[in-house]
Structures are given as C-alpha cells and as structure tokens.
Structure 1
C-alpha cells in the first residue's frame, strides 16, 4: 500500500517568486501601506496615525467600510491602546496573541486585525483571512493563526538561501508575510 499524504500547498521557489509578484500586482498599495505603518511607528504612533492606519489597511483589504465601523465604535485612544498593546506582545514573541488584542476593537475581527499587524510588523506577522483559512484549513483562532505563522516562517527559512532571492525590491529575505502573500496568490489564482 502506498504512503498516505495530505498536501495542502505546494510551489517551487520560482513559482513562489512569481506568486509574490502577482500578489503585489493585484494589491498595488502594499508597499505604500507598509511605508505608512513604518513611518507612524518611527514617529511614535499617535492616535490619528493609528486610525489612519486602520483605514489604509481596510482599504488595502478591499473592505473600506470596516474602518468606518471601527472608528465609529472605538475612540482614537482605544485604537491606539490596542495597537500599542499588540506591539508589546509581538516584542514578547506573542504574535498570535497580538492579533487577537487588536481584534478586541469593536467592529474589527481577526482577519483585519491580522492585516493590521502584518503591516505594523511585516517581519513577524502574517494575514489569516478566509482565503487562507478555507483554502488550507487553518482555523481563524489563536491556535490556527500560530500554526499558519509557523508554516510561513518555516517556508521563509527554506526560501532564504543564496540562490532564492526575494523579488520584493525593499528587502532581500523572505519574510513570513511574503510567504503568506505568495500562498494567497496561489489560492486565489492570481
């Protein structure tokens, strides 16, 4: 009897590079939102910058209306507090917990919370939305997020060899979010 395998995702290194490029072509504001988040963090992250970042992330995720609900249901200070708490959790190595801290904002679920954290810490966080969850079977809860993050870190480590450069011009290594974007692109057929 042959061995039984369940393979949820497979791609060659070359395909991963092409998939990341396809994702960037579909989501053209990715680098701009990354820059916005980086600049806000460098400036010390004000309440206005936190609200602007939530808006930019929701627009990037193609559901701008979510930002309006979040802003209507949470004070600017609460939005800033949740993001700062999440950043502290990331610094402590608790990335999944950080997603769910942001998700405590009224009107913002784990999917868009993971998107926000992905832009705030692209070297540490990934997006876990319905495409990934339904396509690969990762639950949209803390264990599911952590399991998917670990897979993206593992794949990134495999990709970070001298003959596998990342096509993204701003960095030379595969970050977990780069892996996630390539996976998303494959699942969506981009």
Structure 2
C-alpha cells in the first residue's frame, strides 16, 4: 500500500518532490529518451510544479504519481483534499480516471488483443454460446492478459475438449449466485467449477470479459498491493469492496463500468507493487 514518503525539496521551487514509477514515466514524450529499462522498477523523483509538462503522455493523459503524502495524484487535480480509498490505498478521482485511460489505450496493431476486441468476442459468446466460441474467447483472454503459459496449461490438462470444459464453466459461473461460487475450483462435487489450470487471476479475467458490469479482475498486482487473497473468498471480498466503491462513484457521475474502474485501480497500484522495495528514489533528470 502507498505510504507517506519524505519528498526531498525541489532545488528550483523548494516544494516537496513526488515520485513516479519509471514504467509509468516512460509514457511521457519528454522523459522517454532519458529512461532505461532498469528504471521500470524504480521510483523517479519529480516536481509536479517545475516538471509539470513531463507528467503527461503523448495524448494528453495526465500520468498518476505518488505525492509526498502517499496519495496517488495528477498535476490536474482540482480538489487535492478530496481523497478516495480502496483497502487503505489512497488516490484522487482524476488519478483513477486517468488510470482508466492509461489501462485502455489502444495497443499497436499486431501486439495483443485490445480490451474492446475481447469484450466483443465475449458478447458473441453470450449471444450464441458454444464450445467453439468459448475456446476462441479463452484464447483471446489469455493473449490479452499475457497468459501464454496459462493457455498452454489449459490445453495440456484438457486436450481435445478445452472448449467443452470452458463452456460448461462459463455457463455455471454466469448463473452462480455469488462471486465465490462463480470462481470456485472444479471438484467431484462441483464438476462445472473453475477448470484445472485456470487460477483466480485468469478466471477473473474471463468473468470480467463476460460481464464487465458484474465482474472485475483480481490478479497478483491487486492481491499484493491491496491485500486480497487469490482464492474464492478473497475474490468475493474484493468484489464486494470494489462494488461498494464503484456505486459511490457512479452516484456522482462516474461513467466507467465496474471492470474499467478496476483497470484504473490496477494502473495506480502497479506503480507500488512493481517497484523493488529496497530501490532508492532516482533523482530527476530535468
């Protein structure tokens, strides 16, 4: 979880500096050429006042950073005192909103499936559910989530009938009365449960695509960063807290689906989780 950090005074304006993960800052056209691959797991020291122009990506999206008080913010925050939280992880509404934007940027052609394209496949499955449509959706979800190994394990465990197994689970999950039931592992007593070889992370990725207004993803980043266990009970608790939070946002005009809200939260939490715990803050190059 994000903690307060003693920001060194900026040499130019003397205000406490903030910090941003190198992987996030790499999206800034101003800073991209100054960063090395090793910086992806480092905190970079920045001054939101003096280096404001550095804290946008090439499309004008404000890059979230960790302020000196431990709150994830952006340089366009208009109400700095209005802080939101999920599991004690603190951030502003603009930081979350721009986190959603960063999470759903269109990928270069030929890399990985876009979120929109996988959601389209999921809608096709829902309209005409079948084993072949389920298999196609699983292929897309695994490629979208960087789960080539997961897909390989599924094919190895369910050789020749992966589509049937996935179709049976998807139908049972959509009809489940609770989140925990939807993602419970298959067993002799629950043959239509989560198939062998598919864990909570990629199981929840499937559910998220099938119903973005009902389900979201709980992966290792959110598990480590927020403290939710990667098991059915942990997923159920995460979903309950996330829905409560999303409903509060929606009551004040928030326009994103539950799943997209989670994607923004993921972008914010990832900065903390992907930084090596003993990694010192790298001074600003500006």
Given candidates 176, 182, 197, the residue that maps to 1:98 is 182
Q: Could you tell me whether the CA contact under 8 Å between 1:149 and 1:176 is conserved in 2?
A: no
**Deviation, structure 1 residue 101:** 4.7
Q: What are structure 1's unaligned runs of at least 5 residues?
A: 1-5, 167-173
- Say which SS state the counterpart of residue 238 (structure 2) adopts: helix
The structure with higher relative contact order (CA 8 Å, sep 6+) is: 1
The runs of at least 4 aligned residues of structure 1 exceeding 6 Å deviation read: none
The structure with the greater share of residues assigned to strand is 2
Q: Deviations over 1:110-147 (max 9, x none)?
A: 11001111101111111111000000100011221111
Q: Could you tell me whether the CA contact under 8 Å between 2:184 and 2:194 is conserved in 1?
A: yes
**Deviation, structure 1 residue 104:** 3.0
Given candidates 84, 88, 91, the residue that maps to 1:11 is 91
Normalised by the length of structure 1, the TM-score is: 0.82
Q: Could you tell me whether the CA contact under 8 Å between 2:185 and 2:196 is conserved in 1?
A: no
1:58-77 alignment, distance < 5 Å: 58-74=142-158, 75=161, 76-77=163-164
Q: Return the index of the structure with the highest Cα Rg.
A: 2
- Say which SS state the counterpart of residue 122 (structure 1) adopts: coil
**Deviation, structure 1 residue 7:** 5.9
> Do structure 1's residue 20 and structure 2's residue 100 form an aligned pair?
yes
Q: Deviations over 1:124-180 (max 9, x none)?
A: 111111000000100011221111111111111121135x343xxxxxxx3321221
Q: How many residues are aligned here?
A: 173
Given candidates 169, 172, 191, the residue that maps to 1:85 is 172
Q: Distance in 2 between matches of 1:115 and 1:7?
A: 21
Say what the alpha-carbon RMSD is for the aligned residues.
Answer: 2.2
Q: What are structure 2's unaligned runs of at least 5 residues?
A: 1-85, 108-112, 187-192, 275-286
1:1-190 alignment, distance < 5 Å: 8-25=88-105, 29-43=114-128, 45-74=129-158, 75=161, 76-89=163-176, 92=177, 94-101=178-185, 104-162=194-252, 164-166=253-255, 174-189=256-271
Normalised by the length of structure 2, the TM-score is: 0.56
Q: Distance in 2 between matches of 1:26 and 1:8?
A: 31
Q: Could you tell me whether the CA contact under 8 Å between 1:69 and 1:107 is conserved in 2?
A: yes
Q: Could you tell me whether the CA contact under 8 Å between 1:86 and 1:97 is conserved in 2?
A: yes
**Deviation, structure 1 residue 70:** 1.0
Q: Distance in 2 between matches of 1:155 and 1:143?
A: 18
